[in-house]
Amino acid sequence: MRILICNDDGIASPGLARLAAAAETISDDVWVVAPERKHTAAGASLTMAEPLTMRRTAERCYSCSGRPADCVVTAMTWLLAGDGRPDLVLGGINDGRNVAEDLAYSGTLGIAREASFWDVPAIGFSQVKSPEIRAGNDAWLGGLIADLWRRRADWVLEGHWLSINLPSSLPADIRQPSIGRDKIARRAEVVEQDGDRTVLVVPRGRERTTVEGDENSTIDAGYITINRINWFGETRLAEGFLRAQ
């Protein structure tokens, strides 16, 4: 099984190394393409008609000057093009949970979304900050990935991918929560003003809004959360609406 791993925290991220180590417990054909630096809330943004620099940093491991989704594109069109296409794409492990509106903003899930455009099964992994790292975690996570791969007929659908959030401690039981609401970018701070020019900073963080049964409450209770997400999200308009135009 050929596995491609990308992330949005950068090539030097500990979470990337942990996910690669987990994948290597189940496959000897693991490839890594990750951004040179951290890209927070990059979503599925692509670099178009501008140069992208790929740098080999180790065997089957490359950094990319672009954004998280660019890492998938460069792998599919250059590094693993044609018959070398991966069987599975993994994003992460993101440094922090991806819940609620993060499903749209997250570069980790933007990676999985981009993979779905290439008809490749994909899973985005995120974990709470400052997790407990224990011996055996990599093998356990590798076992989870292997089990999901064996059962892919139960979750792989065109235009869909999995979003998985890991709690602080592994192993853990798995739950499928509801999608909550926990808005980031709720305020802006003025850091400089000069006449007509104003410089703003939108700070990191969120209010940690939660209701029973959503991702935040489930993760906080020590469970792994899993949700199947799709990119199209169409809701048909009523025929009466169309006739009224």
Q: Quote the pLDDT of residue 81.
A: 96
How far is 105 from 84, CA to CA, in rounded Å?
29
Q: Quote the pLDDT of residue 25.
A: 97
pLDDT along the chain (245 residues), means of 10: 97 98 98 95 91 97 98 98 96 96 94 97 97 96 98 96 98 96 89 96 86 95 97 85 76
- Calculate the CA dihedral of residues 95, 208, 68, 13 and round it to 10 degrees: -10
Q: Quote the pLDDT of residue 54.
A: 98
Question: Which pTM does this prediction carry?
Answer: 0.93
Decide if 198 contacts 192 (C-beta within 8 A).
yes
CA distances to 22, 101, 141, 162 from 216, rounded to whole Å, are 25, 12, 21, 17
Q: Quote the pLDDT of residue 44.
A: 87
Structure tokens at 220: 């906080």
How far is 6 from 61, CA to CA, in rounded Å?
10
Q: Quote the pLDDT of residue 20.
A: 98
Radius of gyration (C-alpha) of the chain in whole angstroms: 19
Q: Quote the pLDDT of residue 233.
A: 79
In this structure, the chain runs to a length of 245
Sheet holding 2-6, edge to edge: 54-58, 61-64, 29-35, 2-6, 88-95, 122-127, 160-166, 224-230, 174-175
Domains and CATH numbers, the chain: 2-179+205-243 (3.40.1210.10)
Widest Cα–Cα separation across the chain: 63
How far is 128 from 122, CA to CA, in rounded Å?
20
Could you identify the residue written with the tokens 């135009």? 245
Q: Quote the pLDDT of residue 171.
A: 97
Q: Quote the pLDDT of residue 160.
A: 97
Q: Quote the pLDDT of residue 245.
A: 62
